[in-house]
Structures are given as C-alpha cells and as structure tokens.
Structure 1
Amino acid sequence: MNHLFTCLLAGAVALPAAAQKAPGKPRAKPEPGPAFTLTCTGRTSASALQKLYCETRDLTLPAPPAGTPLVVDARLNGAITVRGWAGTTVRVRARVEGRAASEATAKALAASVRISSQNNTLRAARPYEALEGWEVSYEVLVPRQTDLTLRSGNGHLTVENVRGALRCESTAGNLNLSGVGGDVRGKTTAGSVNLTLTGTAWEGPGLDVNTVNGSITWQLPAVYAATIMARTVQGRVQAELNTKRKSVLPHNLVATLGKGGAQLRAATVTGNVTVKQTPGTLEPLPAPEEGK
C-alpha cells in the first residue's frame, strides 16, 4: 500500500514537469505596431469620499471576416478610440475602472468585470449587471480596411485612418473622425462632431453624421474632391473653401470641391457649423460649354 502511494505521488509530482517538456506549437509573437496611449495615469475619482481603482488589460483578436463589423460596446460611460494600422490582427487595450467607498471594494469591483470578445463583439459585464461604480474604455488597433460598429452612452468615439462601413453612435460623447473613408454614418445627441478629412478625395459611398445639441467642426485639405453639405436649424454656418461653386447661407452650405464626387453630409439642430479648407488656389467656376 505504501509502495502504491509512493508511485502515485511521484507520478503527480512528475506530471507538471513532463507537461512543460511536451512538444507544442510555439506561441505566436504579437505583431509590432504603434504603442497604446490608453493608460491609468492621471485618473482620479470625482469625489473625495470615493476611491478609484484602475487597471489595463491587453488582448489580441483575429480580424473579423470581410462584411462582418467589429462591434465595440462601451456601455454607459466608456470611451472608444479605434485606429487603423498595418497589421492583420485586432489589438485591444481595455481600461477598467472601479469606484467605491474603499480602495479594496473598488479593486474587487474592477476585478469582477469580464470582457468578452465573442462573435466579433467587445463587451464588458459583471455579475448581477450592476450599472454603477465601474466603466471600461477601449483603444483598438484594426486593419485599415475594417467595418466597425461603435456604441457608447456618455463616452467619446474616435476613429482614425479606417475605411469601411462605419457606424458610430453616442448619447453625450463627441464624435471625432479623422482620415476615414467608406460608408460612414454617425450620430450623437449632446456631443460635438469633429471631422478631419485627408487625401485628395473621399473613397467610398459617402459620409452622413449628425448631432442635436453639439457643434460641427469640419477640416478639409487644400485640394479635395467631393460634394459637401452642412446645415443647422438654430445655429450659424461659416465656411472658408477654395471653390466658387458654393452656396453659403446662414443655416445651410452646399459646395462642390474639385471634380465633385461622393456626397458628404453633416447636420446639427442647435449648434454652429464651421467648415474650413486649408488655404490654397481658389478653384474657378467651370467654363460654359460652347453653344450654350
């Protein structure tokens, strides 16, 4: 009996060592790319009676197949930043925060948050689905041609250098789009819209973004081809463009830049609209055709 127990004990001790030596596939090294900027530095609690615990978690996901969007759901208070990069995978940094009366409770609250990536959807949850006391923000690196669906309540949404079918929706956060293209649609209720276009023309079907109570700021390169339209109900429209083919009214703007092209629309109800093109040569009106 003692001999049998000794053999079993020796086998139990040897098993981990044997498992470590067993041949297997080497772990793939993550693709080199831009560094994440999302950190816990400078994060503080809004109340002296409340303690904050903050941590970051990194993960790598396969890129969604063509025609399938990557969905990022930041729930109530989280922000989302998505940047295009030259890699073939999706890299994610999640910043998880817990707030409670004590540091230990705040840490336990954050630790209970689980981040799921099933079905090409990033979503955070915790037991019993408590809505208060925690939040998760995301910074995501995606291949430059990727479809996206982004949702947040009070958090800002930022997309940089991504082309595809982009759908962005926030309630109180700002919508910041830079260097995007494709079929882009976005809306926010109480946030501002900030657009920065790059290149020489819009690539894709077009742009349609709107807000209710926020302003719209729109920056274009000196040379660009598109048809742009902007409007506000109660605010004012201001435009500085390198074209004479434009109609600028107090509440509406319609302009053809370069040879025209995709229709790009931006609208607000109570905010102002400012559209600026980098100074350059003023495009003349097209010459009338002979015989007309």
Structure 2
Amino acid sequence: MAHPVHRPRRLRRSAALRDMVRETRLSPTDFIYPLFVVEGRDVRRPISSMPGIFNLSLEHAVKEAKLAKSLGVPSVILFGIPDHKDARGTQAYATDGIVQRAIREIKAAEPDLQVIADVCLCEYTDHGHCGVLDGNHVANDATLPLLAQMAVTCAQAGADIIAPSDMMDGRIGAIRKALDEVKHQDTPIMAYSAKYASGFYGPFREAAQSTPQFGDRRGYQMDPGNVREAIRETALDVDEGADFIMVKPALSYLDVIRALRENFDLPLAAYNVSGEYAMLKAAGQNGWVDYERVMLEVLTSIKRAGADLVITYHALEAAKLL
C-alpha cells in the first residue's frame, strides 16, 4: 500500500501547531461596536430581538463605550433615536441632537476611543425612509444637503469618522465637500458602499425604531443578486473621496467582501448585522450550536473573506474571549 507523501495533517496535530500556521487571526482591534443612543436618563432598555443589546441613554452609552475601550475594542459606531421625528429628520442634523450630544460625551470620557457617526435620516424621519420624500418617492438630490449637514454637525461634535449609510447617489461627494468647507478636511468618510436591501435588518429596525411606514428600501439599497454593481458603487464612492469602504450585511455577502478586497486597496469594513447576530443568539440559547465557538467562526469568516474591520454586536463578547 502506497503511503501519502504530503501529509497536511502534520500541522494540525496540536493546538500549538494549529496556532502557529493559522492564516487568519481575530483581534479586538478588528471590531467596531454599535451603540443605540436614546433620550432620557437611566435608560437601559433591552432590545427583545437582540439579546444583550440595549437602547441606552447618554450616561449608559458612555459606560458601554468605556467598557468597549477597556476590552481593547478601539471604535464604536453611534445610532441616535430622537424623541421627536418629522418628515425631514431635523433632529439628525441638529447641533444638540441625541447623536451629537452622545459624540461629545463619549469623546470627553474616552478621548482615544474612535467614535464613528452613522449618517442617515431613517431613525429621524416619521416615515422611516433614509431621505426626504417627494410624494411616495425618496428624493435623492434633495436629501444630499441634509446628509451633508448631519455629517458637519457630527464632525463638529467630535466624531472621528463619518459613515453615510443612506445609499443616495452622490452623497460621498456632497459630504466630502461640506466637511472640507468647514475645515474638517481631515475627517475621514467610511462609505457604506455596498449596502443591500436585506431581510437581515429586522432586529435593527426594532432597535432604531426605523421601520418604513410604507413600501421598502429596494429603490435605493442594492439588489441581493448583484455583485458587479457593488464594484461599480464602490468605485463611485472612491472617486468621490471615500476613505473606507463597506459591505453590509456580511455573512451572506462574503463573496462581495472578497470582490471588493480584490478590486480596491482602501480599508474594508463589513457589517455583521442584527439579523445575523439574532440568529446566532437564538441558536445558542436553544442549545443548537456552541454559541461562542460559532461566533468566533463567523467573525473569522468575515475577516478571511477580506474585511479589515468588522462592525459587530458580538464585539464585547468576542473581545473577552480573545
């Protein structure tokens, strides 16, 4: 009987060997932790579809940000939920809006923590869409100045990075121009370049209270069947001045992450979204999977596909394990 010449199993014999030759490694510094900030005092309201995640008033958001920093997670991304919503999402770009105040308080408490401001109108509009309306249509060009204004007020509040998630055409260029005009030319933009119209966003919409009151977002978010379009969208963002690019969701779009990694040299983020988190939590709580093992496997797969950074609700749990 002929024996194999090549024996890949030799390098799998022990934990030390496996660790020595591991190609993809996770670190807490890979993670960005999302926070949902709400008005009020002493609010730490559980989000039913996202066990372990909360709506947080400002003082609790600061505590959570400090915890993230203590665990080695270097960045948080903020989503604000105002008490008052209107058709134009005016609280999104108010200088004293909930997210602007959260940026100031977190930066005052943890100056070295990177605070990313998600820029979109959906949490702030009474209709739940990501821009202003013209009838039942989201008006692309009329939305751009409002997104730019939100980016400016967030940068002036101290945000380290601006992350537009609205998927309006031309928003990166509009935001870059607005930031430059107020001398925030050094504030980078993390573009949600390939953001898909996904069914995995359901729990987020509970957390952010941003479910559209009519229709859906397929008219401006990407069709899940397209990958070449993701390359085109990303190229447009890069041309308009994006400093980071992003794929959202992550787990069902690993091929898109790989395609963008192969086509662009900018830092690449992937958003491990709420539905992906909720599925893992439910399976773990029911004893169907080893939650911690599968969580790290999922996060490793996203990084292995080509992501440099992972926005994930698992960030604190994963950082403790790592």
- TM-score, length-normalised on structure 1? 0.22
* Higher helix proportion (structure 1 or 2): 2
> RCO (CA 8 Å, sep 6+): is it higher in 1 or 2?
2
Rg (Cα) greater in structure? 1
TM-score (structure 2 length as normaliser):
0.21
Greater share of strand residues, 1 or 2?
Answer: 1
